């Protein structure tokens, strides 16, 4: 959690493994499949929201998440060094986090 606040946008049930390949192949992959199966079950039971206020709240939360992630993305510098600053900015703001606004634009700085 070097770049991100573990208490914001992250589940306390985060699945993370820094171990040997055998453990990943047996225990971690099994836990991952269990997680995905539970996710599919939740999706099957989900009911669409129709209240405009609920929808606006969710859209705002997604935009806030994209902004939070774009502002902290550790790969941005790496992308810049490989592909140039302009490419990295476009990739970050037009693909990875399309609802985010570059800091220079959102603060009026250039």
Cα separation, 56 vs 35, whole angstroms: 28
Spatial separation of the C-alpha atoms in residues 107 and 17, rounded to whole Å = 38
Give the tokens for residue 106: 């959102």
Q: Is the predicted pLDDT of residue 42 greater than 50, yes or no?
A: yes
Percent of the chain at pLDDT > 70 equals 91
% of the chain at pLDDT higher than 90: 65
Locate 24 and state its tokens.
């990943």
**Residue appearing with tokens 């985060």:** 14
Query: pTM to 2 decimals?
Result: 0.70
Predicted pLDDT of residue 8: 84
pLDDT tens, position by position, 2-35: 667 777 888 777 777 789 999 999 999 999 999 9
Average pLDDT over residues 36-44: 97
Q: What is the Cβ-side half-sphere exposure of residue 41, based on CA atoms within 13 angstroms? A: 6
Nearest CA among 48, 93, 59 for reference residue 73: 93
Residue found by looking up tokens 């490989």 in the block: 82
């Amino acid at each position: 959690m070097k770049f991100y606040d573990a208490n914001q946008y992250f589940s306390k049930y985060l699945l993370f493994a820094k171990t040997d390949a055998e453990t990943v192949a047996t225990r971690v992959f099994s836990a991952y499949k269990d997680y995905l199966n539970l996710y599919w079950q939740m999706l099957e039971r989900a009911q669409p929201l129709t209240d405009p206020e609920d929808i606006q709240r969710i859209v705002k939360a997604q935009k806030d998440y994209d902004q939070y992630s774009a502002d902290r993305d550790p790969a941005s510098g790496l992308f810049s060094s490989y592909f140039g600053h302009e490419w990295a900015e476009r990739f970050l703001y037009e693909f990875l986090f399309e609802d985010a606004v570059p800091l220079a634009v959102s603060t009026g700085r250039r």
